Amino acid sequence: MNSPDETQVRGACPHDCPDTCALVTTVRDGVATRVQGNPDHPLTGGVLCAKVSRYTERTYHPDRLLYPQKRVGPKGAGQFQRVSWDEALTDIAARLQAIAARDPEAVLPYSYAGTMGLVQGDGMAARFFNRLGASRLDQTICASAGTAGLMNTLGGKVGMKVQFFAEAKLILIWGSNSIGSNLHFWRIAQEAKRQGARLVCIDPRRTETADKCHEHIALRPGTDAALALALMHELIQHDWLDHDYIAQHTLGWAELRERALQWPPERAAEVCGVPVEQIQRLARDYGTTQPAAIRLNYGMQRVHGGGNAVRAVACLPALVGAWRHRGGGLLLSSSGQFPVQRQVLQRPDLLGERRPRLINMSTIGDDLLRPASPDFGPAIEALVVYNSNPVAVAPESAKVVAGFQREDLFTVVLEHFQTDTADHADYLLPATTQLEHWDVHLAYGHTDVLLNRPAIAPVGEALPNSEIFRRLAQKMGFDDACLAEDDQTLCRQAFGEQVNFDTLLAQGFASLPLPDAPFAHGGFPTPSGRCEFLNPQLVAQGLDGLPQHLPNRELPDPHGPWPLAMISPPARNFLNSTFVNVNSLSKLETEPLLEIHPDDAAARQIRHGDVVRVFNARGEYHCKADVSERARPGVVVGLGLWWRKMGLNGTNVNQLTGQALTDMGRGPTFYDCAVQVSALA
């Protein structure tokens, strides 16, 4: 029961999580006292994860950035002095103008999903950089291989409605620690389990989710496509196929059949490092249970063959006709189903005739160190970072840090806290949190649009990202009317007439009118309208048009210098590098840890709790050993993602990860990383 002097404000969780929860913030005397899940939003069900339940702790954290600051110490030392907004923005505008006068492409915006909001993400910011003609950022760091895999198979980021997983009789949770990073799906899976569904977790790590499934298949990292192809082999051999669905709604069956027959379970067992019987059992379960549903997540696509792996898995539902049921099929991302008006929101027309180069955010380590050249264009002279912490999260940190430390690089960072990236800023600008600004959200794990209203006034002198770019545009003399539009206008523009804004204002969310079983009668959004086992566009590019298993580039060699594979999934109470400085959450995670199997630890005389050195040719990272069977033999798990400055030797796991890209989608290969581990004397 709320007291009469309390108000409740509806919002949306802004974090990079498929659940996009509806929030209710309780405010008393202008202070947010509680953040809870909105009980009226069916998918949130009044429940939030531990991370966002502590949102007031994060919002009122004593380390919140409260006013603009200017660097006074050496690059990267994190020494700043307070300045006024006017001084900061006047100087930033002058610096950007001078660089842009030579070549606007020497300016690079760098952003990702620090907020998933369409307004405080790439709304006003995109307009500003389009007007400037800055380089464009290829936003690949999380999901682009999987996106490409899905596009090349199903035709878009489309799939099952998450609520209907409750009706499945078999659920494969593939490459996802749902309890940690997709909690509201997990609640639905539990409901299915109570109704008799079998849950199988496919993940190299024995996660909290794996603990609670009926079966865990602990395959080697980067071998998911081999497993999927072997499942197809068994479906064919035992004729557990929906021939009618295949004939009506797929493309390239004869070719896929031939490919799959090259993958008997014995071959896949060897590659994946799992028992043959486990593959055979999974195939039988999948081939003989309806409805069967797959919750795929992005963990498995962070390897060389990530795009192909998603393609291989995405073929499975069509083979057994799982799409016929609303409780069957697959879900990786639902975000392609939202009618976002990106042209209106981001205004690419402001570019005019210009077509600035695209810089891949996953290779920022190399690209910051690249000189001007005819191929590359101008060296990057200015970097404006918002909604991202690349010094901690981008691969091959040593190079990223070296780039950020360039004396001739002008860096502006919009942030809530003094992160590793903020330490390298020339200007550090305080941004508002989700409790302090307007925004509107799509989701990638459900199909509801959510509106976020500000619950409290900005803390200190913090400003919304949108307002910072509005003011900067003004300082730069950009007088286009769209650069002055306010946030509520942008919220309305994001979906235009496609979503009823009054509904959003009234209840905080609106569901998209979509069919319950989207591909029961085919109609995939591919050029052929079919599920494309064989993709003609890939063939036209001279690529293999069928899904294939591409081994990791960094296969651990038991007799070589790097005998262990390392994966680096997020710790349960962190979300990428967000929340690591929220004391109640970092206490739960204790300290940077490396999970290592008892056999691998014993072979190296490593005891539980020892400080270890994890290393490869790119660098070394020190942390404590957690000797645990959560790690399978031959695979270590560097739980992320701590800020570098919290690490024992001032690094984190990305000191070890490389900048090689995925087979499709130009994504990073964080989990394709071979290392050695030793006890630190």
Binding site for ligand SF4 (CB under 6 A): 13, 15, 17, 19-21, 48-49, 51-52, 183, 575
Nearest distance in Å: CB 413, ligand SF4: 23
Nearer to ligand SF4, 51 or 399 (CB): 51
Nearest distance from C-beta of residue 334 to ligand SF4, angstroms: 14
CA atoms of 474 and 526, how far apart (whole Å): 43
Q: Quickly count: other Cβ atoms within 10 Å of residue 194's Cβ.
A: 9
CB of residue 353 to ligand SF4, shortest distance in Å: 40
Pairing relationship of beta strands 593-596 and 619-627 according to DSSP bridges: parallel
Smallest gap from Cβ 175 to ligand SF4, in A, equals 17
**Residue whose tokens read 């192809």:** 229
Cβ contact 366:373 at 8 Å: no
Burial tier of 155 (Cβ tally within 10 Å: 0-12, 13-18, 19+): buried
Which strand (E) or helix (H) includes residue 272?
A: helix 265-272
Q: How far is the CB of 313 from ligand SF4 (least distance, A)?
A: 23
Least separation in angstroms between residue 14's CB and ligand SF4 is: 8
Closest separation in Å from C-beta 153 to ligand SF4: 26
Cβ proximity of 519 and 155 under 8 Å: no
**What pairs with residue 565 in β-bridges?**
635, 674
Based on CB atoms, which residue is closest to ligand SF4, 19 or 600?
Answer: 19
By C-alpha distance, which of 237, 217, 241, 236 is closest to 227? Answer: 217
Nearer to ligand SF4, 268 or 450 (CB): 450
Question: What's the CA gap between 634 and 585, in Å, rounded?
Answer: 29
Pick 17 or 677: Cβ nearer ligand SF4: 17
Measured CA to CA in angstroms, residue 375 lies from 99, 358, 372 at distances of: 20, 12, 8
Q: What's the CA gap between 274 and 217, in Å, rounded?
A: 7
Kindly tell me which of 575 and 673 has the beta carbon lying closer to ligand SF4.
Answer: 575
Of the candidates 52, 46, 47, 41, which has an alpha carbon nearest to the alpha carbon of residue 17? 52
Minimum CB separation of residue 61 from ligand SF4 in Å reads 17
Q: Which is nearer to ligand SF4, 185 or 495 (CB)?
A: 185
Distance of closest approach, residue 20 Cβ to ligand SF4, in angstroms: 5
The least distance separating ligand SF4 from the CB of residue 12, rounded to whole angstroms, comes to: 8
Residue placing its CB nearer to ligand SF4 in the complex, 136 or 441: 441
Q: In the complex with ligand SF4, which residue's Cβ is closer, 128 or 298?
A: 298
Residue 632 CB, nearest approach to ligand SF4 (Å) = 27
Assigned token pair, 58 = 């994060």
Is the separation of the CB atoms in 69 and 427 below 8 Å?
yes
Which tokens sit at 117?
Answer: 């909001």
Estimate the share of the chain in helix, then strand, then coil, as percent rounded to the nearest 5.
35, 20, 45
Residue with Cβ nearer ligand SF4 (446 or 597):
446
Q: What angle do CA 617, 618, 623 make, to 5 degrees?
A: 100
Structure tokens at 164: 């209907």
For every residue of 46-68, DSSP letters joined together read T---HHHHTHHHHHT-TT---S-
DSSP characters over 300-329? GGSSTTHHHHHHHHHHHHHHHTGGGSTT-E
In the bound state with ligand SF4, the residue whose beta carbon lies nearer, of 24 and 172, is 24
| Side-chain-facing half-sphere of 319: CA atoms under 13 Å | 30
Nearer to ligand SF4 (CB atom), residue 43 or residue 564: 43
